[in-house]
Amino acid sequence: MTRVLPLEDALIRMQRDLKRALAKDPREIRWGMVIDLARCIGCHACTLGCVAENKLPPGVVYRVVLEEEVGHYPMVRRRFVPRPCVHCQNPPCTKVCPVNATYKDEQGVVRVNYYRCIGCRYCLVACPYAARTSDFGERYTNDTPEMPGKLFGRRAAFAGYELRPAAEYGRRWPDRNGGSPFGNARKCHFCLHRLKVGMLPACVTSCIGRATIFGDRTDPDSLLFEALGSPRLFRLKEELGTQPAVYYLK
């Protein structure tokens, strides 16, 4: 008897898929994502969810939502294309790194070793999807005045958001001693720190249209696997041969 209920929320199913994937040998997992453009309403919740999850500073963004106009008047509509790092399986960014700071791990996730990155920004230039940003050390509170005796001075605002460590790659950032991730290349990492503890990526859980499907590409019982069989499937800039692990449904 199937355990899938007729009106089961996609998140519930993906959560179950995730649990099943984590029970596997980690070397057999291949994380992937499908974004259903017909379901995306352009609310940018995934962008903000990602920013909040990873405590991203100004000018650093992992997942933007692109807006496109399709068709000709009067048959015209707007299409929204969320663009995380597409985690190429043949990534141009890893090959150009002079110190191997960025690499594709055994589960197909393109990662950045913040301690190793020298900040040459070659990977930013090499990425055909403009999916990488450099952390220039900006702060939301850079120009916030200090107001002694007031509740929301610069320090209070700083402590309220920017002093909170991000948990990227399972560590507490920013590292005040080594400087990283300031000066580093930064990018989407499929929220590996959340996956490790059985949580779906922030962009998936914050998507109100359930447009983002995440899971193990090798699991035939997963929702992701079903979506990968859709005739609407396509990938960005497929002609470049980068083989992204992030797919789209037209």
Partner 1 sequence: MHDNRYYKILVGLAAAGLIIGTWGVVNVLLFGKRATALGSYVPWGLWVAVYLFFLGLTAGAFLITILTYVFRVRIFAPIGPLSAFTVLVAITCEVIIISFDLGHFSRVWRFLINPGWTSMIFWMVVFTNAMIIIYALECYFLLRESLVQGAQAEGTPARWLYRLLSFGKTDFTEADRQADHRRVRLLSIISLPVGLIFYGINGAIFAILLNRPIWNGALTPLLFIVTALLSGGALITFLTYIFKVDDALVHYLGHVIRFLLVVFLFLEALQFFVGYRTGMPINRASLDIIAFGPYWWVFWVFHILLGSALPLYLLSFRHESAQAVAAACFLIIITFIAVRLNFVIPDQAVYKLEGLEATFYHWRLRTDQYFPNLNEWLVSLWVFSLGLLAFMLGSKYLPIVSAGKGEAEHVEA
Residues that bind partner 1 (CB under 8 A): 44, 47, 58-61, 64-68, 81, 83, 92, 95-101, 116-122, 124-126, 128-130, 132-134, 136-138, 179-180, 182-184, 236-237, 240, 242
- In whole angstroms, the minimum distance from the beta carbon of 164 to partner 1 comes to 20
Minimum CB–partner distance for residue 117 and partner 1 (Å): 7
Q: Which of 64/228 has CB closer to partner 1?
A: 64
E runs forming strands in the chain: 31-36, 64-72, 75-83, 102-104, 110-112, 133-134, 185-186, 212-216, 233-234, 246-249
DSSP 8-state code for residue 88: B
Q: From the CB of 88, what's the least distance to partner 1, in Å? A: 11
Shortest approach of partner 1 to residue 153 CB, angstroms?
A: 21
Minimum CB separation of residue 37 from partner 1 in Å reads 12
Closest by CA position to 63, among listed 86, 41, 33: 86
Nearest to 62 by CA among 79, 40, 46: 46
CA–CA dist 211, 77 (Å, integer): 18
Residue number with CB closer to partner 1 (117 or 191): 117
Q: What is the DSSP string of 154-172?
A: HHHHIIIIITSPB-GGGS-
Q: Which is nearer to partner 1, 183 or 209 (CB)?
A: 183
CB contact at 8 A, 87 and 246: yes
